[in-house]
Amino acid sequence: MAAPGDDERNVAEREGVERKAAQPADTAPALLSRTALAVFRLGGQFLAVSERLARPVGLTAARWQVLGAVLGEPLSVAQIARVMGITRQSVQRVADLLVADGLAEYRPNPAHRRAKLLAPTAEGRAAVGAISPGHRGFAGQLCEQLGGEAEFAAVADALRRLSEAVEALEDQHGQIRNR
């Protein structure tokens, strides 16, 4: 004689539905670890995709990121670092390479004599523009994979809120921020 749950389990198995074992509620430390690992993996995945998209136009993901940060308006290296969440030294190294390759230029900063502003050149704008079709295509595929724009927007909003929460806690505890 079959157990009461056998029919249900067999139906689920036939339909390819995975059954999850009952798990205890996640604790805050476990959630933090799970989230951090997922974000690290996602960061690596985005970096790999960015490298593949940028490579055909002779850019790296880092150069594309820095150029992208200044497309709207020229920014100082420190401003770019804050927006990107990385060190000024990393941005400075990439900015100097972009300038040396003629993809960006330093401009005077009316607010600060020594901290020049980085701005893309026409060649830099053209390089970023050449990446746009691949970027647009991948974005469309990712949107479809996530179930549409509303779902994609919800994911983006959740990641933004997570970033803001971490930033608020860093401020609250007086931790040194990576600038």
Q: Average the pLDDT over each of 82-86, 126-130, 131-135, 141-145 and give the range with the smallest value.
A: 82-86
pLDDT at 142 over 90: yes
- Which CB contacts under 8 angstroms, 24+ apart, belong to 118-123? 118/66, 118/70, 118/74, 118/75, 118/76, 118/77, 118/80, 119/70, 119/74, 120/67, 120/70, 120/71
pLDDT for position 93: 98
What is the C-alpha to C-alpha distance for residues 148 and 150, in angstroms, rounded to an integer?
6
Average pLDDT on 11-30 reads 60
What is the C-alpha to C-alpha distance for residues 74 and 176, in angstroms, rounded to an integer?
26
Residue found by looking up tokens 């940060």 in the block: 69
Q: Give bridge partners of residue 76 from the DSSP assignment.
A: 117
